[in-house]
Amino acid sequence: MSKIKVAELFYSIQGEGRYMGVPSVFLRTFGCNFKCAGFGMPRGELSTEVDKVAESIDNYKSYNELPLVSTGCDSYASWDPRFKHLSPVLETDSIVEAIVDSLPHKEWRDEHLVITGGEPLLGWQRSYIDLLSHPKMAALKELTFETNGTQPLTQEFQDYLRWKPNSWTHNRGYFALTFSVSAKLGASGELREDAIKPEIVVDYERFGYTYLKFVIATEADAEEALEVTKIYRDAGFVGPVYLMPVGGVESVYSMNNKNVALLAMKHGMRYSDRLQVPLFKNEWGT
Protein backbone atom coordinates (compact mmCIF):
# COMPACT_ATOMS: atom_id res chain seq x y z
CA MET A 1 0.00 0.00 0.00
CA SER A 2 1.38 3.43 -0.88
CA LYS A 3 1.56 6.58 1.18
CA ILE A 4 1.11 10.32 0.79
CA LYS A 5 2.44 13.14 2.96
CA VAL A 6 -0.78 14.98 3.73
CA ALA A 7 -0.68 18.67 4.55
CA GLU A 8 -4.45 19.09 4.92
CA LEU A 9 -7.63 17.12 4.33
CA PHE A 10 -10.93 18.97 4.72
CA TYR A 11 -14.42 19.39 3.36
CA SER A 12 -15.47 22.80 2.06
CA ILE A 13 -16.86 24.60 -0.98
CA GLN A 14 -14.62 24.97 -3.98
CA GLY A 15 -13.97 28.70 -4.26
CA GLU A 16 -12.08 28.84 -7.55
CA GLY A 17 -12.33 27.91 -11.19
CA ARG A 18 -14.71 25.57 -12.96
CA TYR A 19 -16.20 24.05 -9.81
CA MET A 20 -16.80 27.28 -7.87
CA GLY A 21 -19.57 26.61 -5.34
CA VAL A 22 -19.41 22.80 -5.55
CA PRO A 23 -19.09 20.91 -2.24
CA SER A 24 -15.62 19.43 -2.31
CA VAL A 25 -13.13 17.43 -0.31
CA PHE A 26 -9.65 18.92 -0.48
CA LEU A 27 -6.61 16.68 -0.19
CA ARG A 28 -3.58 18.95 0.08
CA THR A 29 -0.34 17.08 -0.47
CA PHE A 30 2.99 18.23 0.90
CA GLY A 31 5.77 19.47 -1.39
CA CYS A 32 6.21 21.97 -4.21
CA ASN A 33 8.89 22.66 -6.80
CA PHE A 34 8.35 26.43 -6.43
CA LYS A 35 8.35 29.03 -3.64
CA CYS A 36 6.32 31.84 -5.27
CA ALA A 37 7.74 34.26 -2.73
CA GLY A 38 6.94 37.30 -4.88
CA PHE A 39 3.12 37.28 -4.76
CA GLY A 40 1.77 40.57 -3.46
CA MET A 41 5.21 42.20 -3.42
CA PRO A 42 6.59 44.90 -5.72
CA ARG A 43 8.17 43.16 -8.69
CA GLY A 44 11.53 41.67 -7.91
CA GLU A 45 11.05 41.73 -4.13
CA LEU A 46 10.50 38.67 -2.00
CA SER A 47 8.20 38.30 0.97
CA THR A 48 9.64 37.75 4.43
CA GLU A 49 6.28 37.16 6.13
CA VAL A 50 6.67 33.38 6.10
CA ASP A 51 10.17 33.67 7.58
CA LYS A 52 8.65 35.50 10.53
CA VAL A 53 6.10 32.70 11.03
CA ALA A 54 8.89 30.11 10.79
CA GLU A 55 10.92 31.91 13.46
CA SER A 56 8.10 31.28 15.95
CA ILE A 57 7.24 27.80 14.68
CA ASP A 58 7.15 26.33 18.20
CA ASN A 59 3.99 28.35 18.82
CA TYR A 60 2.05 26.36 16.21
CA LYS A 61 0.96 22.76 16.73
CA SER A 62 -1.42 22.41 13.77
CA TYR A 63 -2.33 24.02 10.48
CA ASN A 64 -5.38 25.73 11.89
CA GLU A 65 -3.20 27.73 14.27
CA LEU A 66 -0.93 29.09 11.52
CA PRO A 67 -1.35 32.75 10.56
CA LEU A 68 -2.39 33.82 7.08
CA VAL A 69 0.10 35.78 5.02
CA SER A 70 -0.71 38.63 2.65
CA THR A 71 2.42 38.17 0.52
CA GLY A 72 4.13 35.13 -0.96
CA CYS A 73 2.49 31.69 -1.33
CA ASP A 74 -0.67 31.52 0.77
CA SER A 75 -0.27 27.74 1.25
CA TYR A 76 3.36 28.04 2.37
CA ALA A 77 3.12 25.38 5.08
CA SER A 78 2.29 22.73 2.47
CA TRP A 79 5.79 22.79 0.99
CA ASP A 80 8.17 24.78 3.20
CA PRO A 81 10.40 22.23 5.00
CA ARG A 82 10.25 24.35 8.18
CA PHE A 83 6.60 23.25 8.54
CA LYS A 84 6.91 19.64 7.37
CA HIS A 85 6.36 18.21 10.86
CA LEU A 86 2.72 19.40 10.62
CA SER A 87 2.09 17.04 7.65
CA PRO A 88 1.88 13.33 8.51
CA VAL A 89 2.70 10.57 6.03
CA LEU A 90 -0.48 8.48 5.72
CA GLU A 91 -1.35 5.24 3.96
CA THR A 92 -3.82 5.63 1.10
CA ASP A 93 -6.38 3.40 2.88
CA SER A 94 -6.53 5.70 5.87
CA ILE A 95 -6.68 8.75 3.59
CA VAL A 96 -9.70 7.24 1.83
CA GLU A 97 -11.36 6.59 5.20
CA ALA A 98 -10.76 10.21 6.22
CA ILE A 99 -12.05 11.51 2.88
CA VAL A 100 -15.28 9.50 3.06
CA ASP A 101 -15.70 10.36 6.73
CA SER A 102 -15.54 14.08 5.85
CA LEU A 103 -18.51 13.76 3.45
CA PRO A 104 -21.85 14.90 4.91
CA HIS A 105 -23.56 11.55 4.13
CA LYS A 106 -20.43 9.39 4.55
CA GLU A 107 -20.71 8.42 0.89
CA TRP A 108 -20.16 10.19 -2.43
CA ARG A 109 -23.19 12.04 -3.75
CA ASP A 110 -22.65 15.39 -5.48
CA GLU A 111 -19.26 16.13 -3.94
CA HIS A 112 -16.09 16.57 -5.92
CA LEU A 113 -12.52 15.76 -4.89
CA VAL A 114 -9.74 18.32 -5.25
CA ILE A 115 -6.15 17.15 -5.01
CA THR A 116 -4.10 20.24 -4.43
CA GLY A 117 -0.85 21.34 -2.87
CA GLY A 118 1.89 22.37 -2.83
CA GLU A 119 2.26 20.74 -6.22
CA PRO A 120 0.19 17.54 -6.21
CA LEU A 121 1.70 16.00 -9.37
CA LEU A 122 5.23 16.14 -8.02
CA GLY A 123 5.78 12.76 -6.45
CA TRP A 124 2.51 11.14 -5.47
CA GLN A 125 1.12 9.95 -8.82
CA ARG A 126 1.77 6.27 -8.00
CA SER A 127 -0.20 6.69 -4.78
CA TYR A 128 -3.15 8.27 -6.59
CA ILE A 129 -3.68 5.02 -8.47
CA ASP A 130 -4.09 3.21 -5.14
CA LEU A 131 -6.23 6.01 -3.75
CA LEU A 132 -8.60 6.19 -6.72
CA SER A 133 -8.79 2.39 -7.06
CA HIS A 134 -10.08 1.96 -3.51
CA PRO A 135 -13.66 0.54 -3.48
CA LYS A 136 -14.89 3.51 -1.43
CA MET A 137 -13.76 5.85 -4.22
CA ALA A 138 -15.70 4.02 -6.95
CA ALA A 139 -18.66 6.42 -6.72
CA LEU A 140 -16.48 9.53 -7.05
CA LYS A 141 -17.49 11.24 -10.27
CA GLU A 142 -15.44 14.40 -10.42
CA LEU A 143 -11.80 15.00 -9.58
CA THR A 144 -9.63 18.06 -10.06
CA PHE A 145 -5.88 18.34 -9.79
CA GLU A 146 -4.87 21.89 -8.90
CA THR A 147 -1.40 22.04 -10.37
CA ASN A 148 1.17 24.61 -11.42
CA GLY A 149 1.43 22.82 -14.77
CA THR A 150 5.11 21.94 -14.68
CA GLN A 151 4.93 18.25 -13.83
CA PRO A 152 4.38 15.65 -16.55
CA LEU A 153 2.10 12.70 -15.89
CA THR A 154 4.05 9.50 -15.36
CA GLN A 155 3.54 6.72 -17.90
CA GLU A 156 1.99 4.56 -15.18
CA PHE A 157 -0.53 7.25 -14.22
CA GLN A 158 -1.31 7.96 -17.88
CA ASP A 159 -2.05 4.28 -18.41
CA TYR A 160 -4.33 4.24 -15.38
CA LEU A 161 -6.22 7.36 -16.48
CA ARG A 162 -6.51 6.13 -20.05
CA TRP A 163 -8.45 3.07 -18.96
CA LYS A 164 -10.57 4.70 -16.27
CA PRO A 165 -14.01 5.47 -17.74
CA ASN A 166 -13.94 9.18 -18.40
CA SER A 167 -16.58 11.75 -19.25
CA TRP A 168 -14.78 12.48 -22.48
CA THR A 169 -15.91 9.10 -23.80
CA HIS A 170 -18.74 7.92 -21.53
CA ASN A 171 -22.08 9.57 -20.84
CA ARG A 172 -23.12 7.26 -18.01
CA GLY A 173 -21.19 6.01 -15.03
CA TYR A 174 -18.74 8.73 -15.87
CA PHE A 175 -15.63 10.01 -14.17
CA ALA A 176 -14.71 13.60 -15.02
CA LEU A 177 -11.10 14.61 -14.58
CA THR A 178 -10.04 18.26 -14.58
CA PHE A 179 -6.62 19.86 -14.52
CA SER A 180 -6.80 23.36 -13.07
CA VAL A 181 -3.46 24.82 -14.09
CA SER A 182 -2.34 27.86 -12.13
CA ALA A 183 0.57 28.82 -14.35
CA LYS A 184 2.88 31.27 -12.61
CA LEU A 185 3.48 34.74 -14.05
CA GLY A 186 6.48 36.97 -13.23
CA ALA A 187 4.74 38.43 -10.14
CA SER A 188 5.06 35.01 -8.47
CA GLY A 189 8.83 35.46 -8.34
CA GLU A 190 9.39 32.32 -10.47
CA LEU A 191 11.27 32.40 -13.78
CA ARG A 192 9.23 32.00 -16.95
CA GLU A 193 11.47 29.23 -18.29
CA ASP A 194 10.73 27.23 -15.14
CA ALA A 195 7.06 28.12 -14.81
CA ILE A 196 5.62 27.98 -18.32
CA LYS A 197 5.68 24.45 -19.73
CA PRO A 198 3.06 24.43 -22.52
CA GLU A 199 3.89 20.96 -23.82
CA ILE A 200 3.08 19.46 -20.41
CA VAL A 201 -0.26 21.28 -20.17
CA VAL A 202 -1.20 20.32 -23.72
CA ASP A 203 -0.53 16.72 -22.70
CA TYR A 204 -2.96 17.03 -19.74
CA GLU A 205 -5.67 17.78 -22.30
CA ARG A 206 -5.38 14.20 -23.56
CA PHE A 207 -6.63 12.99 -20.19
CA GLY A 208 -9.05 15.60 -18.87
CA TYR A 209 -10.68 19.00 -19.15
CA THR A 210 -7.84 21.47 -18.67
CA TYR A 211 -7.86 25.20 -18.07
CA LEU A 212 -5.36 27.90 -17.22
CA LYS A 213 -5.89 30.17 -14.22
CA PHE A 214 -3.66 33.20 -13.80
CA VAL A 215 -3.37 35.13 -10.53
CA ILE A 216 -3.69 38.85 -11.31
CA ALA A 217 -2.97 42.01 -9.33
CA THR A 218 -2.47 44.64 -12.01
CA GLU A 219 -3.20 45.44 -15.65
CA ALA A 220 0.43 44.51 -16.39
CA ASP A 221 -0.24 41.03 -14.99
CA ALA A 222 -3.28 40.71 -17.28
CA GLU A 223 -1.15 41.76 -20.26
CA GLU A 224 1.43 39.15 -19.29
CA ALA A 225 -1.34 36.54 -18.98
CA LEU A 226 -2.37 37.32 -22.58
CA GLU A 227 1.22 37.00 -23.76
CA VAL A 228 1.71 33.71 -21.94
CA THR A 229 -1.64 32.37 -23.16
CA LYS A 230 -0.37 32.86 -26.70
CA ILE A 231 2.61 30.65 -25.87
CA TYR A 232 0.21 27.90 -24.73
CA ARG A 233 -2.06 28.41 -27.75
CA ASP A 234 0.91 28.19 -30.13
CA ALA A 235 1.76 24.85 -28.52
CA GLY A 236 -1.78 23.59 -29.19
CA PHE A 237 -3.60 24.32 -25.92
CA VAL A 238 -7.36 24.64 -26.54
CA GLY A 239 -8.88 25.01 -23.06
CA PRO A 240 -10.34 28.13 -21.41
CA VAL A 241 -8.38 30.77 -19.52
CA TYR A 242 -9.35 32.36 -16.20
CA LEU A 243 -8.09 35.49 -14.49
CA MET A 244 -8.29 35.33 -10.70
CA PRO A 245 -7.55 38.14 -8.22
CA VAL A 246 -4.47 37.90 -6.07
CA GLY A 247 -5.27 37.95 -2.36
CA GLY A 248 -4.94 35.28 0.30
CA VAL A 249 -6.30 37.78 2.83
CA GLU A 250 -9.56 39.66 2.46
CA SER A 251 -8.11 43.19 2.40
CA VAL A 252 -5.90 42.38 -0.62
CA TYR A 253 -8.60 40.32 -2.37
CA SER A 254 -11.30 42.97 -2.04
CA MET A 255 -9.00 45.64 -3.48
CA ASN A 256 -8.53 43.47 -6.54
CA ASN A 257 -11.58 41.38 -7.35
CA LYS A 258 -13.70 43.88 -9.28
CA ASN A 259 -10.72 45.21 -11.25
CA VAL A 260 -9.74 41.69 -12.23
CA ALA A 261 -13.32 40.91 -13.29
CA LEU A 262 -13.25 44.03 -15.49
CA LEU A 263 -9.88 43.01 -16.96
CA ALA A 264 -11.25 39.54 -17.71
CA MET A 265 -14.21 41.12 -19.51
CA LYS A 266 -11.94 43.51 -21.42
CA HIS A 267 -9.80 40.66 -22.72
CA GLY A 268 -12.62 38.16 -23.29
CA MET A 269 -11.30 35.80 -20.63
CA ARG A 270 -13.10 34.04 -17.78
CA TYR A 271 -13.13 35.40 -14.24
CA SER A 272 -12.54 33.15 -11.27
CA ASP A 273 -13.36 34.35 -7.81
CA ARG A 274 -11.69 33.04 -4.64
CA LEU A 275 -14.90 32.43 -2.72
CA GLN A 276 -12.98 30.97 0.22
CA VAL A 277 -11.69 34.48 1.01
CA PRO A 278 -14.99 36.39 1.48
CA LEU A 279 -16.81 33.30 2.82
CA PHE A 280 -14.21 31.86 5.18
CA LYS A 281 -11.42 34.46 5.31
CA ASN A 282 -9.21 31.87 3.56
CA GLU A 283 -8.40 30.24 6.88
CA TRP A 284 -6.51 26.94 6.81
CA GLY A 285 -9.01 24.12 6.37
CA THR A 286 -11.30 26.10 4.06
| Residue closer to ligand SF4 (CB basis): 111 or 117 | 117
CB of 83 to ligand SF4, least distance (A): 12
- Amino acid code (one letter) for 198: P
DSSP reduced 3-state for 167: coil
- CA–CA separation, 20 vs 285, rounded Å? 17
CB of 282 to ligand SF4, least distance (A): 13
CB of 50 to ligand SF4, least distance (A): 10
- CA–CA separation, 259 vs 255, rounded Å? 8
CB of 175 to ligand SF4, least distance (A): 25
| Residue closer to ligand SF4 (CB basis): 111 or 146 | 146
| Residue closer to ligand SF4 (CB basis): 50 or 137 | 50
Q: How far is CA 239 from its chain centroid?
A: 17
The residues, any chain, with a CB within 8 Å of residue 99's CB and separated by 6 or more, are 9, 25, 27, 113, 136, 137
| Residue closer to ligand SF4 (CB basis): 7 or 25 | 7
- CA–CA separation, 222 vs 263, rounded Å? 7
Interface with ligand SF4 (CB under 6 A):
32, 34-36, 73, 75, 79, 117-119, 148
